[in-house]
Structure 1
């Protein structure tokens, strides 16, 4: 018999589970929702620390929990799987439901069909999330402990909202996660980007002359929180409630909202009900310290009017923070990798695996391993991925051989240096770009780079020389070692005193893997290109395959910081150039410095996210007052 709605997995049961496992700390002393919680949570996630339940948030009667999924193991636990790889197996079973043929095939699929019968959500009459109701003037979002995460944020932001709408024509239900800036006691921004389903629903409502009803769940089953971020496989009828129910092995409980015609999760902590009026002027939202590690600059977005709030009797407000990687979203991204892999393999069966490293903040970098059987296959796969769902936003795709360890970030770039000759094995193209990308030539449109780091076939090298012989020729010195993310590397090509100097260079370093890192204070148009040409002609460039030019805030001793900066700051078609060196080896220069108006860049360039020093000092001073363990400080 199905469990009652209140017995279905929810946020508070997951909190209890983490506490039983020693993976959650309670803080009873007062703490500020403005910056202090962010600084604590940032330290915890960077060191793999526990989740934290703040029981006394200043200005609110509700406790706040953060860091629920800030490790790979905790994310798997939240989704009800032993390991994130189990998620791929579950989704592959779900997709295989389409493959049954004839009576015999159907009989063979009966166990899966029984599972599938549990997928549709079930409506309940009484729901914990409707135990307390605020209506009209009672609505006051300031009573909920919404965080101001970073110093330059435009205000407090709801960071884990499950935003639900219905198509005004088809009535199809949709859920997505879109940040919400609190504008007043009863309004928020609604960050619906141009590619999102919420935007399409709003456009339809405007065409029909209607307001668009909206409901926002906060909290609930962690599997549903994840599902709101997930790139669902292209299975007809599959939505976020069905995915969460499938992960739990039972139908997801929903209840009709009180004032809008939308089914909402019965086990959420809070529900915000209201509408967006498409005839209303959009409002300025932002800045916001975003998942890229940079501030997203202010822009115009729709205004959400909250007309009712329902909640549990004793709700807990869940939050997350985003910013410089690694952050909690890195593990949600990893879960999405496992979710998307079976669907990608259905269309591109030569794919063995893929990974989006934290330094690439999701769309900026994808590394794909393939079982290669013919020349040009790496480009076929990369272009195919660019046509699949949210992969259309990928900026740099690196393709490697099937047995390559994708999660070894340093080894990826060593493989690139060894097997990808700039110009010959690199391909520049263009297409849709994430609207949060600040470096693209246009809003949501920019360049892309495909790097073929697979073992080459004779047809791909343009000569009778075998691929291994050609790739070993004049590339890297024997015995060179691979860097690790953030590791310290020794210089082997030239001492720092012998490296070329150039206007604006703050620091530089060569690695034993064929990379040259440069920190540049850019003051004039064309400065990075001139630097690249000067460096390429210098004798010290021998054996270097990649010149990475960063801004002056980048630590060239930290490979992770370099790649994070460069991947954020390049439009590859505009900013990546293949140059010849004195030794005849091609060099790929990446201009990851900021772009200037004099270079035709008309948008403002955002700042990197940095916490105020005063806040860091205050958190240091209060760490033991809050009872937090020294090891996570």
Structure 2
């Protein structure tokens, strides 16, 4: 069966040669995070740092750092979990082929948490100061927990059935937090802890919060799993871990994961917020300091032999990329049951996940029409923008399954080619302005607010995409270095952005006006204006990251011969996206050169990572 605790997992990985111990002293301030990222990029093993500066606790990293290792960790239960998800798709499958679902009752039994009076995590008490203080990037505002499992229950109806387990950012030190007494609790919009906090405020009660670190690996994955409303992550963790999660309940306290390595227990009081951040985040930029709830620390406990697991995030791909891929594999068959008419979704990791969602839907509303046009696709796209984590998407680009060849949302170059061949930008763009957006995305008009666009195209091929420029472009002053990135996709370097937030740039409109007189642009329906066209056009990862993390659809889309008719915006010529870094954007993540040189030394002959990095 699955691992009862983190120690069992690490011991097994070491026996398989999948874990390397690093016994020389390492600094959790920047250095250890840089090592983890380097080993991840190399496809290397899990890491156990046994001599961590400033703390007596060892730290473990890159546990989930390869697809093969991730699947190995959950090898005993994955077949049954996959069958349970298929059962959700077709509830009659168990009756048609019952022998394939023999493990389902055991998995459902394992999903039920077990209340106990004591557990290993209660063995010792410590303080926030004595914990490992991981700081991943030079401008981070303090030390953070990067693999936390934040547990809350409904204040109105407490119990496991209405619990929430989420991976929300926890700042241990820095800013104005009182040492050992306060930590920052950063949770973004559309997170399960939000309703619990709202209930507590309505009832004029404080919110009890437990933060587990370590424990069964299944708990880590469950904390990031986008489960349907009403399915507690704690129960999914039991099914994935192959055994009931033991929860310590003493008196009226909030339950604590018995096999966790650490637990930070605390209380959130009404009206108490403090600045949290900056923090180098998974979009590849710093999220800046903003006011978030303060958790008053009541107690910190840990088990014998406790190990502090961590990851670091940054511009994708990182270790959390594999979490996303793994979750997609598990839930791909559920997509049509959650979104009617949608067959495939791909939240593009290289673009920071939420900024770009590619999807394949149906176009069946008028099957007898001589020519297919986007109709059901728009309904599908609005459904994606209306619920679950897909509602945080900024660009939703949706194709029709009925088109030939059938589009594949996970073949990004092929998908863009398919869409651009069929795009009618007089018709296919649908904007939602001044709406909620991902907290970490700084391209909008304020924190948590910006715009979204649904691009839905279908029907026969409308144009042949160009692969080279046939003439000179009439570019205004400040614009230059045009490059063909992919068929139909052009990248142009623009002047440094100098406008304020929530403003159009008249120089971009001047560019669109100038391109109206250009020859040979018919084959380039999509133009991106960037700071560095050579960097952006170097590969798909660069293009996706630059274009979709640095633009807000309503603010930063322009068009050659654009128009507004009855509040519908479109363009008769190429679509132009302003993807330059804006004056109000958060800075991009840059490594510390001196730290990187120290990491290089670990990979030199005689170093603990020789032959790995």
TM-score by length of 1: 0.83
Counterpart-to-counterpart distance in 1, 2:51 and 2:477 = 52
Q: Please, what is the CA RMSD of the aligned residues?
A: 3.2
- Where does 1:342-421 land on structure 2 (aligned, <5 Å)? 342-374=333-365, 375=372, 376-402=375-401, 403-421=406-424
Does the 8 Å contact 2:480/2:494 carry over to 1?
Answer: yes
2:469 pairs, out of 488, 493, 496, with 493
Counterpart-to-counterpart distance in 2, 1:357 and 1:448 = 16
Gaps of 5+ in 1: 457-466, 481-491, 597-603
Does the 8 Å contact 2:497/2:580 carry over to 1?
Answer: no
428-437 or 172-181, which deviates more:
428-437
Deviations 1:417-470 (A, max 9, x none): 22223333333234431122111123323222222344x1xxxxxxxxxx24xx
1:422–1:82 CA distance, 2 compared to 1 (3 A) = farther
Task: Give the deviation of 1:559 after TM superposition.
Answer: 3.1
1:408–1:516 CA distance, 2 compared to 1 (3 A) = same
Does the 8 Å contact 1:506/1:552 carry over to 2?
Answer: no
Alignment-derived partner of residue 441 in structure 1: 445
1:61 pairs, out of 56, 60, 79, with 56
1:104–1:159 CA distance, 2 compared to 1 (3 A) = closer
Counterpart-to-counterpart distance in 1, 2:208 and 2:82 = 34
- Where does 1:463-542 land on structure 2 (aligned, <5 Å)? 467-468=460-461, 471=462, 473=463, 475-477=464-466, 492-494=468-470, 498-505=472-479, 507-525=481-499, 526=505, 527-539=507-519, 541-542=521-522
Counterpart-to-counterpart distance in 1, 2:14 and 2:594 = 31
Alignment-derived partner of residue 527 in structure 2: 547
1:146 pairs, out of 133, 144, 147, with 133
Does the 8 Å contact 1:519/1:556 carry over to 2?
Answer: no
Alignment-derived partner of residue 601 in structure 1: none
Alignment-derived partner of residue 308 in structure 1: 299
Structure 2 residue 5 is matched with structure 1 residue 10: yes
Does the 8 Å contact 1:51/1:70 carry over to 2?
Answer: yes
Task: Give the deviation of 1:580 after TM superposition.
Answer: 4.2
Structure 2 residue 145 is matched with structure 1 residue 178: no
1:202–1:428 CA distance, 2 compared to 1 (3 A) = closer
Task: Give the deviation of 1:123 after TM superposition.
Answer: 1.8
Counterpart-to-counterpart distance in 1, 2:77 and 2:409 = 21
2:237 pairs, out of 213, 227, 244, with 244
1:100–1:408 CA distance, 2 compared to 1 (3 A) = closer
2:21 pairs, out of 19, 26, 30, with 26
Gaps of 5+ in 2: 174-178, 366-371, 500-504, 563-570
Counterpart-to-counterpart distance in 1, 2:340 and 2:77 = 26
Q: 2:215 aligns to what SS in structure 1?
A: coil
Does the 8 Å contact 1:219/1:317 carry over to 2?
Answer: yes
Deviations 1:319-360 (A, max 9, x none): 111111111111222233345444431143433322222112
1:625–1:503 CA distance, 2 compared to 1 (3 A) = farther
Q: 1:69 aligns to what SS in structure 2?
A: coil
1:176–1:538 CA distance, 2 compared to 1 (3 A) = same
14-23 or 608-617, which deviates more:
14-23
1:90 pairs, out of 71, 79, 84, with 84
Task: Give the deviation of 1:501 after TM superposition.
Answer: 4.6
Deviations 1:185-223 (A, max 9, x none): 332101133433333333333333332221110011222
Counterpart-to-counterpart distance in 1, 2:106 and 2:453 = 44
Does the 8 Å contact 1:26/1:53 carry over to 2?
Answer: yes
Q: 2:379 aligns to what SS in structure 1?
A: helix
Alignment-derived partner of residue 600 in structure 1: none
1:259–1:615 CA distance, 2 compared to 1 (3 A) = farther
Q: 1:225 aligns to what SS in structure 2?
A: helix
2:436 pairs, out of 432, 435, 445, with 432
Counterpart-to-counterpart distance in 1, 2:167 and 2:452 = 26
Counterpart-to-counterpart distance in 2, 1:17 and 1:504 = 58
Structure 2 residue 54 is matched with structure 1 residue 47: no
Alignment-derived partner of residue 324 in structure 2: 333
Task: Give the deviation of 1:249 after TM superposition.
Answer: 3.6
Counterpart-to-counterpart distance in 2, 1:186 and 1:383 = 44
Deviations 1:85-131 (A, max 9, x none): 9855432325766x799x99999999745643432111233422222
Deviations 1:499-518 (A, max 9, x none): 55544447441134111112
Task: Give the deviation of 1:572 after TM superposition.
Answer: 1.0
Task: Give the deviation of 1:406 after TM superposition.
Answer: 2.9
1:397–1:32 CA distance, 2 compared to 1 (3 A) = same
Q: 1:537 aligns to what SS in structure 2?
A: coil
Q: 1:539 aligns to what SS in structure 2?
A: coil
37-46 or 155-164, which deviates more:
37-46
TM-score by length of 2: 0.86
Counterpart-to-counterpart distance in 2, 1:232 and 1:626 = 46
2:209 pairs, out of 200, 214, 224, with 214
Deviations 1:8-34 (A, max 9, x none): 532222222332333322211111111
Counterpart-to-counterpart distance in 2, 1:245 and 1:252 = 5
Q: 1:283 aligns to what SS in structure 2?
A: strand
Counterpart-to-counterpart distance in 2, 1:220 and 1:96 = 33
How many residues are aligned here?
Answer: 577
Structure 2 residue 553 is matched with structure 1 residue 572: yes
Counterpart-to-counterpart distance in 1, 2:62 and 2:101 = 39
Structure 2 residue 286 is matched with structure 1 residue 295: yes
- Where does 1:208-287 land on structure 2 (aligned, <5 Å)? 208-234=203-229, 236=230, 238-256=231-249, 261-279=253-271, 281-287=272-278
Does the 8 Å contact 1:132/1:312 carry over to 2?
Answer: yes
1:204–1:364 CA distance, 2 compared to 1 (3 A) = same
